[in-house]
Amino acid sequence: MANKQLFASMIAKLMPDARNREGAPAYSYGPEHTLAQLAATGTLNDGFYGTAEAQLAEVLAVAKAVDPRFVAQAAVYARTKGVMKDMPALLTAWLTVADPDLSVAVFRRVIDNGRMLRTFVQIMRSGAVGRTSLGTRPKRLVTQWLEQASMAQLMRAATGSDPSLADIVKMVHPKPVDATARAFYGWLIGKPYDVAALPAEVAAFEAWKRDRSLPLPPVPFEWLTAEPLTPAQWAEMADRMGWQALRMNLNTLARHGAFAVEGLAERVAARLADADAIAKARVLPYQLMAARGMVGKDVPPVVAAALETALELSLASVPVLPGRVVVCPDVSGSMTSPITGHRKGATTAVRCIDVAALVAAAVMRRNPGALVLPFETKVVPLDLDPRAPVSVNAAKLAAIGGGGTTVSAPLALLNAQRAVADLVVIVSDNQSWVDARRQGATATMQEWERLKRRCPRAKLVCIDLQPYGTTQAVERPDVLNVGGFSDAVFETLARFAAGGSDRDWVAEVSATVV
């Protein structure tokens, strides 16, 4: 007689222990994995299955349930690897209350520009982490950031609001490091200042406001866009813009006639397609795909082509994977939700389905033999050309859209066809419900078990694009659940496919140096 206790425990590990947002059986994440998922995919906006308020409550609750050091590591990982903004700022703010000493190191890693500084201050003053003022140590951290920032950083920080940099300066009263900083702070907050000591850039800006015949001042372009400018001045601003700003303002430049200026289109195209500039800008591949899709008819073809090149370059971290690779993008109805959620006046046009499609197309481009199986209630047949530009195949996949969710569908098809698979990658929001079962393991795990009997060395990676807290595939050495939509996901995928089964995603986040 077999050991009943042993086999009972093995069965128990496959039994769902939770319900997903559709009320179907699912596997819950542990608190560390939940926090990591929230940090990497949470945007504190309304999603398809939840509100921003609910997401805030969840992340604060789970932060209390784990060690503060892991909260710190999740914050740093989300900012440095996931290129997230609001969530790492929130976790940093939470640490100022939960572990003030640890918050110092995290603040210095996470709050790396003026926008992040304003977000941190906004969260601290909101009362979300238990206080409505900065407090002594956070105030000191903000003050140090201001005192150590270069004048260029301070000027870039002075372009946002709610709170503005002026509001922050009034709150913390930083000590000017020299007469130039003292004059700048006075100018910023509307107090008396020594005109002769103003930074040259600000002095030029003030002079230009009085006399528009003067050369365009070397200040952040946002300071100038509300003013009437000539096409030549818009072209000059284009040459000065940072890479991300340039990517986001192509239609604006075209609308104001900047590309009519000789040579500008070629200069812009060269900058957009510069590999070093792309890496330095930390641009997300999906942002480039969105920029390419939003280019208006007045943007020169050479510039649009440069965005295509930039997208291909941004996917340099997509690995060449061993063996037979199968990529399964979820194209169901819930995947039409914006990838960063709904926020009044700031909702992205990029949907979860766009990101899933991009991941699938990118993996196929680097692995031409990969099989792509888009699914909703069933697998949707689609012919794709691995030699085509990534954006072309991604657009074909994203155009499917609609229907319920059956995460097990691609696995079931592989089993029905007795197909060989060494690595299966599912990109989804994980809210499967059409294949819900009343008893036993989820349909996804049952189909995976069948596939494993034929392909014992196969591995499954579930890339989760939304912070809903459950999965259809239980974590174990041959199954990896990873959250996020930056190129860090590709790095994790490569390690796991190469044999890194001894280190799951939580362990990877835990290895982050604070």
Tokens of 497: 């496919």
For residue 84, what are the β-bridge partners?
A: none
Q: Write b or e for each residue in 94-106: b if 16 or more Cβ atoms lie within 10 A of its Cβ, otherwise e.
A: bbbebbeebbbeb
pTM: 0.91
pLDDT, one tens digit per residue, over 211-266 is 988 999 999 999 998 888 999 999 999 999 999 999 999 999 999 999 999 999 99
Q: Which residues contact 472 (CB under 8 A, 6 or more apart)?
A: 26, 27, 407, 408, 430, 432, 442, 443, 444, 445, 462
Residue 172 above 50 pLDDT? yes
| Contacts for 401 with CB less than 8 Å, ≥ 6 apart | 331, 333, 335, 336, 353
pLDDT in tens, 374-392: 999 999 999 999 888 888 9
pLDDT at 107 over 70: yes
8: confidence class by pLDDT, cuts 50, 70, 90: very low
294-322, pLDDT tens digit by residue?
899 999 999 999 999 999 898 887 889 98
- How many angstroms separate the first and last alpha carbons of the chain? 52
Tokens of 386: 């691995």
Strand bridging mode 470-471 / 25-28: antiparallel
Give bridge partners of residue 423 from the DSSP assignment.
Answer: 325, 459
Which residue's structure tokens are 């800006």? Answer: 205
